[in-house]
Amino acid sequence: MPKAAADAKLLIQSLNKAYAATPTNLKIIDLYVLFAVVTALVQVVYMGIVGSFPFNSFLSGVLSCIGTAVLAVCLRIQVNKDNKEFKDLPPERAFADFVLCNLVLHLVIMNFLG
Amino acid sequence: MAETEADAAAAPSAAPGRLRNAFGGVLCAFTLILIGVLAFSIRLFSVIKYESVIHEFDPYFNYRVTQFLSKNGIYEFWNWFDDRTWYPLGRVIGGTVYPGLTLTAGSIWWLVNALNIPLSVETVCVFTAPIFSAFASWATYLLTKEAKGTGAGLMAAAILGMVPSYISRSVAGSYDNEAVAIFALVFTFYLYVKTLNTGSLFYATLNALSYFYMVCSWGGYTFIINLIPMHVLLCIVTGRYSSRLYIAYAPLVILGTLLAALVPVVGFNAVLTSEHFASFLVFIILHVVAFVSYIKGLLTPRLYKMAMTLVITVGMAVCFAVVAILVALVASSPTKGWSGRSLSLLDPTYASKYIPIIASVSEHQPPTWPSYFMDINVLAFLVPAGIISCFLPLSDASSFMVLYLVTAVYFSGVMVRLMLVLAPAACILSGIALSSAFDVLTRSMKFQLSKLFDDGSAISGNGSTEATSASAVNTNSSKSENKTEKSEAAPKEKSSKKNRRKEKEVTESVPAKSKKEKRLSVLPLEASVIGTLLLIILGGFYVVHCVWAAAEAYSAPSIVLTSRSREGLHVFDDFREAYAWLSHNTDVDDKVASWWDYGYQTTAMANRTVIVDNNTWNNTHIATVGTAMSSPEKAAWEIFDSLDVKYVLVVFGGLVGYPSDDINKFLWMVRIGGGEFPHIKEPDYLRDGQYRVDAQATPTMLNCLMYKLCYYRFVETDGKGFDRVRGYEIGKKHFKLTHFEEVFTTHHWMVRIYKLKPQKNRVRAKLRKLKSGSKSSSTLAAGRKKNPWQ
């Protein structure tokens, strides 16, 4: 057990060190993803307290949070300089795709919110 | 110096290269247009042979809905409650119909009329299917191009334009969901594969929108939302995870689920039914894999191994808990969360045990072996060659094709109607197989011919032209000598690593590829010439079969029948005759009872309220009608009177030999009625297990309403009552009807309409006096028997 705890500590330290090396724009995207996921969790907890009626509003709220999180992760993948597959993709194009997809997502959400 | 020489050499041969490029593109576009025209025109046989009329049963409902949409607009359509069907229950059309087809045809009609081209709704409905089949072949071209290149794409598109299985559900006049759904299916798959290949979020968005169109169009969309997760899982398991996979799948799940929930028919089923659980499960798995690969990139290998052991021990416990909760939730519902139709697909024996309605539809029976050859013909043995070709080399797209084909083959084996889903897969793989075969054969021919003309000298360019296109300039002689040596030593089978390019098409990264390839297999000249000829003849057989199938087998509108006799063509238009009589000789609010097959046609053409129709959503209501048809006259009259029925319609083919009449369907009525009302027992209608209506038939059979309504006065036609379908004389020949009166029989006795006699004003005194003593007990006994359907 103590070995496992020491291992875990070493692990977390090295993770922190490696993560600190990522560029700032990626860290901002990560923060946004974290924010979206936390909002989704808050909504789920709220649903657990208050009940799930009207279900379509709950569904659209949670799925919009998860949706923007997923799209932000896709943006992060495309903008990351370490990614060999996307080195020909200008980051502006990636961002434009991200905005377009978000537009469609939120249009659907507005329709489904009820 | 060498560079400028190379450049100078490059410039003049780049210009013809570009010209060749352009020429190839134009030829490709022209071929695609021709394929579209072919796909459209091969479906026009029924319009030429009969008339521009809507076929079958289900299309009449779609036609009626489209009429309503064009007359009243989209808000009325969305909120429409139809009270002219399923009397007295009615049907919420807005919430139970897949709106894709009707909205598509409605918008085409609106657009065309806005441009002042006065096409009627019926014309638009009849020709929607051929137009969308042209689109479907273009979508197949795009999909196959993503997997294997332009030549395979053109081949697959040409094959799909003609494949009989698809023709059968999309002739001009077959205005059914599959007409647009197959186009949506192939287009969605194309966009998925394109996203997988390029990793572009733009195509992912388009993919989700195309999936939305598919959900709007057909209940078979569950195939997509289960196939794509299966493919993602396959890619992960075979170690082909990449970030493009994440971009292709994750947005599709979220957007797709939301869009599917928007369609009223699906609604919350998009998140609550088992058909969608696979996509969520794979979504979670994909995130886990993505996270793991991200962490792997951050840590050193030793630390990564440490992290893995730590996570697995913790993760296992959490996973176990989640799975236990999920299993408990799913197991608490009786069908484990699956709908009846999906269960009957997974377990082919399910429907016959529990849901006789689903089992009774002829399209839901398993196909016979000959129907495979009839429906996909030559493709049946080109497909395995295509599978092998997909593995050389295996890419994400080609693994998707193989998976699509394998699942489609399984489902087509369960239900005949799903051969339609197999058709695009078979066409794509056959296109790939044929194009690879042609590639090798023509390459061999070109190489052998050029060898003949050059006399085997070491001159570079020609020897390797089949390996390069015009834009490849760096043909140094050593390389070509190398190649000629290798190709002469190549074995005489076409199994080695093939060159993907075709002569006509010019592709980009040519010089790099020609350095990478190891051997080119080349066949001797005679073998390749004969091989090409044989393949072309095979294609010829396929085309002949397709045209024959389209003209003879699949173009019958089944509302008009024809037969050839010595006097020429004889037309049986009895159905429309009967519906026209109904619409002209009955009141608008009269209710008509018939078996559910004819419900859609009656509401659409006769414009009368029906009791049950082809939607078959309420089994008890159908069982009520089935019980009425199987009961003696008085009991049937009482059932029909309780439903406010005025007219009863039966279809009878005994005079002309029409085999799909109600007497042949009667046992299903008994089974379905008996499923709900236990006093109807199937063995009562069978003599020694055999279904007969002749003198050997059981008294229950000879007294039931269906027998009486079909054979009333039948003996007057030929004096003996010989039934041409069953092939013998009927049992009870001379009888009178006490509770029904015949009001109309069509020209060939195919449709017979009866009216319920109104209740007598007084009961006859003689009966009352006889029964006065035991009246109470007899009425009690009658009362117990009177309402068996409660």
d(CA B252, CA B260): 11
Average pLDDT over residues B386-392: 91
Q: How many residues appear in chain B? A: 790
What's the CA angle centered on B617, arms B614 and B620, to 5 degrees? 105
Instruction: Look up the pTM and report it.
Output: 0.84
The strand pair at B740-745 and B751-756 is best described as antiparallel
Q: Is B781 left (phi over 0), alpha (psi -120 to 50) or beta?
A: alpha
Residue that is written with structure tokens 């519906």 in the block: B579
d(CA B421, CA B415): 11
Query: Which residues in chain B are closer than 8 Å to A82, comparing Cβ atoms?
Result: 297
pLDDT at B487: 37
d(CA B411, CA B405): 10
pLDDT at B6: 47
Using the Cβ of A19 and the Cβ atoms of chain B, whether some distance falls under 8 Å is answered with yes
- Judge whether residue A3 has pLDDT over 60: yes
CA dihedral (B50, B55, B60, B66) positive or negative? negative
Q: Percent of chain B beyond pLDDT 90?
A: 41
Query: Which residues in chain A are closer than 8 Å to B286, comparing Cβ atoms?
Result: none
Average pLDDT over residues B42-62: 90
- On the 0-12 / 13-18 / 19+ scale of CB atoms within 10 A, B452 is exposed
Residue B610 — φ and ψ, nearest 5°?
A: -115, 165
Q: In chain A, which residue's Cα lies nearest the Cα of B271? A: A59
Which secondary structure element, helix H or strand E, spans residue B306, and what is its range?
A: helix B301-332
Contacts 24+ apart (CB under 8 A), B511-520: B511/B468, B511/B472, B511/B473, B511/B474, B514/B464, B514/B467, B514/B468, B514/B472, B514/B479, B515/B479, B517/B467, B518/B486, B519/B486, B519/B487, B519/B490, B520/B443, B520/B447, B520/B466, B520/B467, B520/B483, B520/B486, B520/B487, B520/B490, B520/B496
Picking from A104, A110, A113 by the largest number of B CB atoms within 10 A of its own CB, the best residue to mutate is A104
Among the partner residues B247, B259, B295, nearest to A74 by beta-carbon distance: B247
- Judge whether residue B580 has pLDDT over 80: yes
User: pLDDT by residue (tens digit) across B432-478?
Assistant: 999 999 988 988 888 888 888 876 554 444 444 444 433 333 333 33
Distances, alpha carbon B433 to alpha carbons B394, B395, B415, B535, B600, in Å: 14, 16, 27, 11, 43
Residue that is written with structure tokens 């060659």 in the block: B385
Q: Between the ranges B2-16, B384-398, B471-485, where is the mean pLDDT highest?
A: B384-398
The CA radius of gyration of chain B, in Å to the nearest whole number, is: 33
Average pLDDT, rounded, for chain B: 82
A50/chain B closest Cα distance in angstroms: 19
CB B213 within 8 A of CB A108: no
d(CA B432, CA B149): 9
Interface of B with A (CB under 8 A): 199-202, 204-205, 208-209, 242-244, 246-247, 250-251, 254-255, 257-259, 261-262, 268, 271, 290, 295, 297-300, 303, 306-307, 310
Q: Beta-carbon neighbour count of residue B751 at 10 Å?
A: 25
- For residue B257, which amino acid is it? T
Confidence of residue B247 (pLDDT cuts 50, 70, 90): very high
User: pLDDT by residue (tens digit) across A98-110?
Assistant: 999 999 999 999 9
CB B124 within 8 A of CB B652: no
* Yes or no, beta carbons of B295 and A15 under 8 Å apart: yes
pLDDT at B180: 93
d(CA B217, CA B230): 22
User: pLDDT by residue (tens digit) across B19-38?
Assistant: 888 999 999 999 999 999 99
The strand pair at B568-572 and B722-723 is best described as unpaired
- What's the gap between Cα B729 and its chain centre? 41
Q: Beta-carbon neighbour count of residue B786 at 10 Å?
A: 13
* Yes or no, beta carbons of B243 and A104 under 8 Å apart: no
d(CA B603, CA B56): 14
Reduce the DSSP state of residue B729 to 3 states and report it. strand
Confidence of residue A44 (pLDDT cuts 50, 70, 90): very high
- Judge whether residue B233 has pLDDT over 80: yes
- Judge whether residue B342 has pLDDT over 80: no
Residue that wins the pLDDT comparison between B615 and B189: B189
d(CA B312, CA B319): 10
Which secondary structure element, helix H or strand E, spans residue B284, and what is its range?
A: helix B277-298
Closest to B136 (Cα-Cα) out of B108, B104, B160, B155 = B160
Cα pseudo-dihedral B649, B651, B656, B660, rounded to 10: 170
What's the CA angle centered on B57, arms B95 and B646, to 5 degrees? 85
Confidence of residue B505 (pLDDT cuts 50, 70, 90): very low
Average pLDDT over residues A34-40: 95
d(CA B78, CA B264): 9
Distances, alpha carbon B53 to alpha carbons B114, B125, B364, B466, B551, in Å: 24, 9, 25, 52, 16
Query: Which residues in chain B are closer than 8 Å to A89, comparing Cβ atoms?
Result: 199-200
Query: Which residues in chain A are closer than 8 Å to B205, comparing Cβ atoms?
Result: 97, 100-101, 104
Residue that is written with structure tokens 């008994």 in the block: B670
3-state secondary structure A8-47: HHHHHHHHHHHHHCCCHHHHHHHHHHHHHHHHHHHHHHHH
- Judge whether residue B606 has pLDDT over 50: yes
Q: In chain B, which residue's Cα lies nearest the Cα of A74? A: B247
A98/chain B closest Cα distance in angstroms: 7
A31/chain B closest Cα distance in angstroms: 16
Using the Cβ of A52 and the Cβ atoms of chain B, whether some distance falls under 8 Å is answered with no
- The two three-digit tokens of residue B729, written as one number: 């004389």
pLDDT at B468: 40
Q: In chain A, which residue's Cα lies nearest the Cα of B196? A: A85
Residue B494 — φ and ψ, nearest 5°?
A: -95, 55
Q: Between the ranges B118-122, B351-355, B366-370, B440-444, where is the mean pLDDT highest?
A: B118-122
Confidence of residue B507 (pLDDT cuts 50, 70, 90): very low
Closest to B606 (Cα-Cα) out of B575, B582, B577, B573 = B582
Residue that is written with structure tokens 């559910």 in the block: B596
Q: In chain B, which residue's Cα lies nearest the Cα of A10? A: B303
Average pLDDT, rounded, for chain A: 88
Picking from A13, A73, A83 by the largest number of B CB atoms within 10 A of its own CB, the best residue to mutate is A73
CB B175 within 8 A of CB B63: yes
Confidence of residue B340 (pLDDT cuts 50, 70, 90): low
A40/chain B closest Cα distance in angstroms: 13
CB B627 within 8 A of CB B670: no
